[in-house]
């Protein structure tokens, strides 16, 4: 009798199991296939990203060799071609190298365009803002101070990677647009707060001295565009 009851219970369990499989089996199989497909896709994506990065690195080195050999036009074309197909990091860096070639060749408008394009391609804010502030220095050298202010406003936010360089540009733009008090406030900030790179603080101090001297003799103070960032200015 006990054996009979055990057999009945076993059959019932099998029947419940079969019902469960009929009801949920397709869903379970579908989930398993989806998991396997997702893992395979992630592995393929990682492999493809690594392969693309290696190819971009190789192409970048080839373009750099052209530049080192003095083949500027060929190097520029190679950097621009790479920027069209490379991952964002290499694309942004390639655009910046092409911008340097354009600036060295006296084509400021093209250099600004390329720096702006590089800023848009970089993922990391630090890299994007570096390209943006390099473009702003070229704009400053052209004397377009209104454009300088528009470009560096967000870069001068407290704690931004290039805050102090951006503030120096803002101060120079304000002074050359006839706003000496705003310029003085920015230069005084750079001259007094801790943490400002020494070269920037020294330039700010010199600007304040120049402003005081010019105002003492009744002249309207102006300043030339500041030089681009030195290595020790960069965070």
Distance CA 39, CA 54 (A): 23
Q: Are residues 2 and 118 in the same domain?
A: yes
Domain count, the chain: 2
For residue 223, the SS3 value is: coil
Distance CA 173, CA 222 (A): 9
Q: Are residues 7 and 119 in the same domain?
A: yes
What does the pLDDT read at residue 29?
A: 52
- Domain end (from 56, 88, 123): 123
DSSP state of 224: P
Rg of the chain over all Cα atoms, to the nearest angstrom: 31
What does the mean pLDDT of the chain come to?
A: 82
Residues 23-36 pLDDT 10s = 655 655 555 555 55
Residues 90-100 pLDDT 10s = 899 999 999 99
Does residue 69 have a pLDDT over 60?
Answer: yes
The answer to whether 140 and 173 are in contact (CB under 8 A) is: yes
What does the pLDDT read at residue 137?
A: 96
Q: Span 121-140, mean pLDDT?
A: 94
- Domain end (from 66, 90, 123): 123
Q: Which residue has the tokens 């911008």?
A: 99
The residue range of the domain holding 117 is: 1-123
DSSP state of 164: H
Distance CA 183, CA 81 (A): 42
Q: Are residues 148 and 196 in the same domain?
A: yes
């Amino acid at each position: 009798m006990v054996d009979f009851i055990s057999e009945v219970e076993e059959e019932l369990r099998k029947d419940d199991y079969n019902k469960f499989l009929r009801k949920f089996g397709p869903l379970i199989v579908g989930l398993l296939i989806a998991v396997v497909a997702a893992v395979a896709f992630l592995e393929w994506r990682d492999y493809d990203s690594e392969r693309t990065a290696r190819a971009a690195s190789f192409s970048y080195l080839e373009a750099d060799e052209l530049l080192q050999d003095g083949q500027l036009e060929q190097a520029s074309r190679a950097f621009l071609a790479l920027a069209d197909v490379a991952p964002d990091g290499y694309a942004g860096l390639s655009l910046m190298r092409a911008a340097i070639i354009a600036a060295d060749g006296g084509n400021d408008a093209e250099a600004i365009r390329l720096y702006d394009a590089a800023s848009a391609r970089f993922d990391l804010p630090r890299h994007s803002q570096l390209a943006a502030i390099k473009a702003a220095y070229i704009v400053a050298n052209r004397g377009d101070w209104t454009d300088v202010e528009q470009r560096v406003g967000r870069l001068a936010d407290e704690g931004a990677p290039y805050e102090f360089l951006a503030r120096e540009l803002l101060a120079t733009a304000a002074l050359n647009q006839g706003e000496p008090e705003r310029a003085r406030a920015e230069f005084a900030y750079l001259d007094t707060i801790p943490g400002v790179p020494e070269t920037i603080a020294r330039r700010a101090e010199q600007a304040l001295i120049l402003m005081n001297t010019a105002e003492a003799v009744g002249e309207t103070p102006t300043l030339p565009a500041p030089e681009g960032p030195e290595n020790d200015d960069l965070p």
